A and B are shown apart, each in its own frame.
Chain A
Amino acid sequence: MKRVAYVLGLPVVLFAAWYLLSAGSESFYAPPLSTILESFGKTWTLDRLGTDVVPSLLRLVAGYALAAVIGVAVGVTIGLNRRVRATVEPVLEFFRAIPPPVLVPVIMLFAGIGNGMKIIVIVFGCVWPVLLNTVEGVRAVDSVQIDTAKAYGISGPARLGRVILPAASPQIAAGLRQALSIAIILMVISEMFAASNGLGFTIVQFQRSFAIPEMWSGIILLGLLGFGLSLLFRLAEGRALRWYHGLRDAQRRS
């Protein structure tokens, strides 16, 4: 009971405060929350969700999944080879340091402004944190474990799948979490640049036509989307890394 009050208390208070304070608002930019909520229902109908939100999400998922696969595959390859790692590490650090949104104009040159461009932008932005974290994770695998596996003649795919990847997975998960927020940012940015549908496009359209309540409803929807995706990720991570969190707790207690 007390926990529920703690979880819900402040959000309810903030929401109520926003509602009440904005109730009689005459300000053009900050309309009453009741108006925003009303336009939320009107704007984000099932039809709209189908034409704008679903394409955005599909591009997000496609780009993110591709980046995860490429990042882990290349990261393992680099992480296992000391010489390759020392050679390419500065290059990778440089690519990671480039703010991902500036890749949008570059990739527009190559891939035009279609779905392909948006997916490539997401892949290009997300791949670095996954890749670098995988390299770190693979590098930090306990050498006793690897030697033991070698001594038992566990080699090739079995060693990769049963020793190296599980040991590196907490690090990889950390990289995937960073990549998720980058993916959402790039999804929105690429649509703000050049698109005919999608969430980012629609919100900028509202802003340019001064449809303020609709714009606010779009911002709220984006916020909910970000929150929902990170919640999903946490659940998935909690399941996949249950053994790891259990191990950590046990170590902390002892």
Chain B
Amino acid sequence: MRGLTGLAGLLVLVELLPRLGLVNDAYLPPTSRIAAALGDELVTAEFWQAVGDTLMGWAIGLVIAVAAGVVVGIAVGAVPVLRAATASTIEFLRPIPSVALIPLAVLLYGTDLGSTLLLVVYAAFWQVLVQVLYGVADVDPIADETARSFRFGTWARVRHVLWPTALPYVFTGVRLAASVALVLAVTAELVIGAPGLGKSIAVAQTSGAVPLMYALIAVTGLLGVAINLAARAFERRTLAWHQSVRGEVPA
């Protein structure tokens, strides 16, 4: 309830600042004009096309990154030698800022979806991989040895011991990756000019359509909030059996 007051306050503040002349309204238009621009935009097909393009780049990139992260993470994490041998490489590659790949993406894919995907996958992959590695390391050695004593094969141990232990970590990784993927998708569109919301923002900026630019930025923010909430809800539903979720329910 109080949160709504906060949001309303922000809207009123943005309305009043330019109206009272505290901020030049060429730079920050009042809420009503931003809302009007958003209303005009909502009925155009181009806007929904842009939203669709952004979400498509986000979703495909995220799926690839999660699949690759989980497979590589389990393979590397389950074999101690591999884990020890790759630790330094992962630590080196992970902090490389994905924006460093922008020039490369432009050369390889131009302004296609491929550019967006390259950046999204690179940035999201590490988030998932690192969480999966933590998850695999968290396996209870007694459970693992019990499974061995019962002659579980490698596959059965991965399926029944390793995977359930790692799952909450996997979800944390997916949640982090989902927001990073959105940031990178919009960034790629903004800087490279791949089709999507980022490109619409860049076009609005260069053509001086300031209210529209603010409206589109607000849309990216709302998308981010929606993705966050959806990821949390999904995690809660799928992990309802797990201690970390059950423990939060007030007794």
Contact = CB atoms under 8 A, between A and B. Distances in A.
A97 B225 contact: yes
A102 B217 contact: yes
A96 to B, nearest CB: 8
Interface stretch (A7-15, A48-56, A147-155): A7-15
B100 interface: yes
Contact of B85 (A9, A100, A189, A200): A9
A83 interface: yes
Given A223-B96, A226-B96, A226-B97, A83 B213 contact: no
A216 to B, nearest CB: 8
B102 A192 contact: yes
B74 interface: no
B7 A91 contact: yes
Contacts of A23: none
Interface string B52-96: 000000000000000000000000000000001111110010111
Question: Interface centre among A105, A188, A229, A230, by most B CB within 10 Å?
Answer: A105
B95 to A, nearest CB: 4
B190 interface: yes
Contacts of A243: none
Question: Interface centre among B106, B183, B210, by most A CB within 10 Å?
Answer: B183
A83 B2 contact: yes
B221 A97 contact: yes
B154 interface: no
A206 interface: yes
A2 to B, nearest CB: 9
Interface size class of B (residues with CB under 8 A): 35 or more
Nearest to B11: A91
A1 interface: no
Contact of A109 (B99, B210, B220): B210
Given A6-B84, A10-B89, A87-B3, A105 B97 contact: no
Given A9-B85, A99-B182, A105-B201, A87 B108 contact: no
A204 interface: yes
B2 A226 contact: no
Contact of A102 (B88, B101, B108, B186): B186
Contacts of B201: 102, 105
Contact of A6 (B85, B96, B224): B85
Nearest to B103: A207
Given A96-B224, A200-B99, 18 more contacts: A6-B88, A9-B85, A11-B88, A11-B92, A94-B7, A97-B224, A101-B190, A102-B216, A102-B217, A103-B217, A108-B205, A185-B187, A207-B106, A215-B104, A222-B100, A223-B97, A226-B100, A227-B96
